Structure 1
């Protein structure tokens, strides 16, 4: 029988409904087809309770989802909140549909996730790209400068919104307050894909979250840094510059009609935990991460990201000066049962959450330190992620290219053509090439550099990069 070990159900209506379903199990004549039996395919379906005729009635008569979303809105200081069972991917696409219409222009940070770019495709939006600043010492992205956004909006007064991703995948934090000011000077909303920042704002040593800094919309992944099921995400918005009815329409247009109740209940439970115990749990995790950074800084040549512009719960290290290959370090970590979020030749990223302890964080830091020493070699220059240096040129709008007739050509014949596909080294999933963009030698060099550094080339029809799909000119 499922339990509520931390006593959260009194402040978490969806969690309470999920527990009551198990405490008084029905004999359902509804979907899902496993009918709550675990003797057919095993425990893989255990806990799978639907929203409709599960957490609530088929007619949603009790309103537990709306109640839970209202509680989250109050916690984050939003006017409206919507839960998603499709992750920040669904949330980003819903927001893209909500803020502008087919043919409209929006200003977009190049550090956006693939999901937001496909949101541009779905909504028919044309991006004006703005590049992040790049740290010369590490080659890693910083935030987009507010002045860069101002210049883009001055040059494109027809723009309807500004989209940025912050914090970055590696944990660097930008000037969101400055970006909000820049957007609001032109009376357009600032939308922040804060997928990695569900914990921001809930401990004095953490950065404030985007809504606290003036953003109009914040998308965050409850499953990334909070104890929620995979695919759990939250959309939080203020309605001064966002139409709530249109936001709801965007959410419903792109969401499943059979949302998983366990995902929703875990989102609600994570919100209740954050409200009650977040300060304590996050404080312990921050202290553990601080100690881990100290240990890693003792490794000669290892650069450890730190400081006020870095998420205190991201362990990101740059290996170039140690000569160690991050792919070899990762293999050692996997053999020790310590998978990390990302590893390529030069950069390793480990995610810490409030579920971690001093013991778990200390263990991974020690394992990284020892693996670097085992694989130490001649120092090499900091190459950085070349994807951050790509200067995209939009030949046609993303939607037009995505749905156009296309052909496959050899890589060497693709220069000068228009891409029909999205290609992103993953992680972090930031596009090096997007539908509608001119393919340049610089772009191909960045992709090949990522591939040769051991990064997976994602979303490409041919991940080996022997060929590319281009539009028929």
Structure 2
């Protein structure tokens, strides 16, 4: 029988239901089809209990999911919480459906994950892109500024919402309170994709979470910085500016009707752990990362992100001054059984969580120091990654382009045409080209450079970048002058 993890029983209704299922296993005539027999396909299905007919009855008469979500809403100070088994991706797309109607414009930070852009496709929303500020010393994004949002409302006064990602993938933290002030001054909600910040707000050394800073909705992944199953996420919202009925309908429209109970139970357990032991666990995490940063900062030429606008629990390294290639360093780390969250030529991001200890973080630090020394070369200047430096030229809406007739052409011939697909270096999964945007020579060169440096270029139909999908409708047509507006919405095109 599974043990009761860290004594959380009684504090986590979904976890309790998962444990009871294993204590008194039924002979179910419901899904899943494996019926919990590990002799058929092995332990790969161990622990897989459905919500319907597993953690609860098929009719959900026990109410354990609603109970767990209500407890999470209280913990984060939200009016509504929904658990997702589709990660922050599902939560972002549900919010896109909830905040506007087809044809509405929204202000969108360009560092947001691809899931938000696909949410715009689903909802038929038109983005008015907001560029983040970049740090001159590191080339990394600092966040979308309140001034950028104010400028967005000047360009699109009818925008129905503001969507930003904060903190950034690399751990930099923006002015969420300032963004909320601007959005609310215009009577609009602020939606924050904080996928990497489920730990924010639960220790005095950490930034406050977005809802505490005035945001109207917060998306965060339980499986990234908390000890939950992959795909577990929370969607949290206040309902002053977001219609709860519309949000509920959007969540139901986009999630699976067969949610994995183990994922839900783990999200519940992670929430209960955070509520009970968050200060202790997160304090140890912050101290551990601080020690690792101090040690790595002694490496000549290496920049270790730190300071008041950086997540104290994130370990992000900028390698230009060492001359080392981050992709080669990553290969060495993988060979030692120490894969990191992200590595491109100039940047390494290592995700340290409450599940780490001094031994694991010490091994990582030693391996990083050795690999950087092995691959040390001539220092090189900072070149912002394509994901942070894109200047989109919007020709038509993402939805229109997504469903339009398209064709594949040699990538050089695609320059000046309208992109029909989403292309993004991964990680972080931030688009360099999106459906409906003009293919520019700068974007093509940025993608080729990332590919040449060993970064995976994801989501394109042709991963080699020899060809690109473009709209057939603009075949042979030169770009119109109005299409040269950048970081804008389609009303300017």
* Range into which the TM-score falls when normalised by the shorter chain: over 0.9
**1:284-327: CA deviations, max 9, x gaps?**
11101000001100100000000010111111001111111111
**1:385-434: CA deviations, max 9, x gaps?**
12322110110100000001000000110111000000000000000000
Counterparts of residues 401-412 of structure 1 (less than 5 Å): 401-412=401-412
- Residue in 1 aligned with 2:440? 440
- Residue in 2 aligned with 1:367? 367
Asked whether 1:6 is paired with 2:19, we answer no
- Residue 40 of structure 1 aligns to a residue whose secondary structure is helix
- Residue in 1 aligned with 2:306? 306
- Residue 143 of structure 2 aligns to a residue whose secondary structure is coil
- Residue in 2 aligned with 1:293? 293
Counterparts of residues 167-316 of structure 1 (less than 5 Å): 167-316=167-316
Please say if residues 284 and 358 of structure 1, whose CA atoms lie closer than 8 Å, have aligned partners that are also in contact.
no
Runs of 4+ in 1 over 2 A off after TM superposition: none
Superposed displacement of residue 367, structure 1: 1.0
Which segment drifts farther, 253-262 or 349-358?
349-358
> Structure 1: how far apart are the matches of 2:50 and 2:242?
30
Asked whether 1:342 is paired with 2:342, we answer yes
**1:322-378: CA deviations, max 9, x gaps?**
111111111111111101001111100000111111221122112101110111111
Please say if residues 49 and 261 of structure 1, whose CA atoms lie closer than 8 Å, have aligned partners that are also in contact.
yes
> Structure 1: how far apart are the matches of 2:437 and 2:458?
17
Counterparts of residues 308-457 of structure 1 (less than 5 Å): 308-457=308-457
> Structure 1: how far apart are the matches of 2:127 and 2:25?
50
Give the alignment's TM-score, normalised by structure 2. 0.95
- Residue 133 of structure 2 aligns to a residue whose secondary structure is coil
- Residue 73 of structure 1 aligns to a residue whose secondary structure is helix
Please say if residues 285 and 358 of structure 1, whose CA atoms lie closer than 8 Å, have aligned partners that are also in contact.
no
- Residue in 1 aligned with 2:145? 145
- Residue in 2 aligned with 1:43? 43
Give the alignment's TM-score, normalised by structure 1. 0.99
Superposed displacement of residue 5, structure 1: 2.9
Superposed displacement of residue 384, structure 1: 2.0
- Residue in 2 aligned with 1:64? 64
Please say if residues 83 and 264 of structure 2, whose CA atoms lie closer than 8 Å, have aligned partners that are also in contact.
yes
> Structure 2: how far apart are the matches of 1:294 and 1:453?
29
Superposed displacement of residue 83, structure 1: 0.3
Please say if residues 288 and 362 of structure 1, whose CA atoms lie closer than 8 Å, have aligned partners that are also in contact.
no
**1:410-461: CA deviations, max 9, x gaps?**
0110111000000000000000000000111111111112112211000000
- Residue 220 of structure 2 aligns to a residue whose secondary structure is strand
> Structure 2: how far apart are the matches of 1:256 and 1:5?
27
Gapped regions of structure 1 (runs ≥ 5): none
Superposed displacement of residue 50, structure 1: 0.3
> Structure 2: how far apart are the matches of 1:52 and 1:260?
9
- Residue in 1 aligned with 2:85? 85
> Structure 2: how far apart are the matches of 1:384 and 1:288?
29
> Structure 2: how far apart are the matches of 1:328 and 1:82?
41
- Residue 218 of structure 2 aligns to a residue whose secondary structure is strand
> Structure 2: how far apart are the matches of 1:309 and 1:8?
33
Note the aligned Cα RMSD (angstroms).
0.7
- Residue 256 of structure 2 aligns to a residue whose secondary structure is coil
Please say if residues 111 and 387 of structure 2, whose CA atoms lie closer than 8 Å, have aligned partners that are also in contact.
no
What is the count of residue pairs matched by the alignment? 473
Please say if residues 174 and 309 of structure 2, whose CA atoms lie closer than 8 Å, have aligned partners that are also in contact.
yes
**1:8-49: CA deviations, max 9, x gaps?**
021100000000000000000000000011110010000000
- Residue 94 of structure 2 aligns to a residue whose secondary structure is helix
> Structure 1: how far apart are the matches of 2:180 and 2:452?
38
**1:142-200: CA deviations, max 9, x gaps?**
11010110111122111000000000111000000000001001000000000000000
